[in-house]
Amino acid sequence: MIFKNVCFYNELFEKEVADIEIENGRIKAIGVIEGEGRDMSGMIALPGFVDIHIHGAGGGDCSDASRESLDKVSAFLAKHGVTSFCATSMTLGHDTLINIAETVREYKGRETGAKIAGINLEGPFIAMSKKGAQNPEYVRAGSVEEFDEINSASGNIVKLITIAPEAFDSDEFIKDVSTKCSVSIGHSAADAEQAQHAFDLGARHATHLYNAMTPMTHREAGIAGTALDNEKVFCEIICDGGHVCPAVLRNTFKILGENRACVISDSMRAAGLGTGEFELGGQKVYVHEGGKYAVLEDGTIAASISNVFDEFKNLISFGVDFKTALKSCTINPAKAIGADDEIGSIATGKAADIIFADEDFKIKEVYINGTLA
């Protein structure tokens, strides 16, 4: 298959016009290509988006541990330009997490839409004081043994795990587990010194920056300020305009630059379903009329109901630089999970994951491994 006259953003994220040839699910060639093809003039091609922190969407939740639910999430994401995702769990019991890991392992390669890039364990080794919408019944101290059992059950596809480094004796955990996946600080009450110590030991990620963590003030950097200050750390950000306000988003992207922000949805099964009562991690959550996110019964922010493509458009409307916004939805999250050789940009040899949109960024077609979704 050859796409002709494609206006796209190349692996340097610069605009280019060329032909793109796809073969066996991969981008075979980019340039002036001989042969018949489909003229794509008038459309813009973007790399398939990558969501490394998503619990659910379209009525499905990754923690349901069912193929039916994963199908719903995968199909919903494909319609919204997300071509790869990390199935994200909640703070749950050990046996439940094992079941989730096994289900995702068996499902990977059988997706109906967006591809499984791995698993993101949001907890259970977090701080009770910063649990947010996580179920307190299952919050517990970190264990390398427990992580290894879950990772083994997944076929070693756990890509991220969120921990609160101050909540348990975490030094050996970070040093060990950071060799197997990215260790992220989140749902944590760590101060700046504790956060920096965790980063020094090998943590390289911050979970949904600003939310469920110690804030940055003018006298104490907290987790947020320490993560922003560390050039080795990727920072997830929910860009629905509710979890983090537009002014803070603008300032944050100025600090992080082009290469360190990872836009995430952190969405749950209510995404795309409108208002109502839903379930998240065994707890009731609610989406109210005009709400930008789901909340617990007591009003605590629970999860997003957005998607990364809509958040990309939000960032553009908020005044964030286009290149920075695009990289933060594609190559940066791919790098954060060590998958940038396969996904995250339009380049020869990579998976043919491409979004075709009009000039207003209305999605027209999405290709995943070269197949129309």
Annotated catalytic sites, by residue?
266
Tally of residues, the chain: 373
Sign of CA dihedral 187, 116, 113, 41: positive
Q: How many C-beta neighbours within 10 Å does residue 43 have?
A: 18
Map tokens 């998503």 to a residue.
54
For the record, the structure tokens of 145 come out as 């043994």
- DSSP letter, residue 299: S
For the record, the structure tokens of 193 come out as 């010194």
What is the Cα–Cα distance from 11 to 139, expressed in whole angstroms? 41
CA-only gyration radius of the chain, Å = 20
SS3 percent helix, strand, coil of the chain, rounded to 5, is 30, 30, 40
Q: How many C-beta neighbours within 10 Å does residue 317 have?
A: 10
Map tokens 């005009």 to a residue.
290
CA 277 to each of CA 57, 68, 218, 296: distance values in angstroms, whole numbers, following the listed order:
14, 20, 39, 10
What is the Cα–Cα distance from 10 to 347, expressed in whole angstroms? 7
- 54 pairs with which residues across the strands? 87
Smallest CA-to-CA distance from 27 within 292, 369, 371 is with: 369
Q: What stretch of H or E contains 147?
A: helix 144-153
For the record, the structure tokens of 67 come out as 């193929």
294 contacts 312 by C-beta, under 8 angstroms:
no
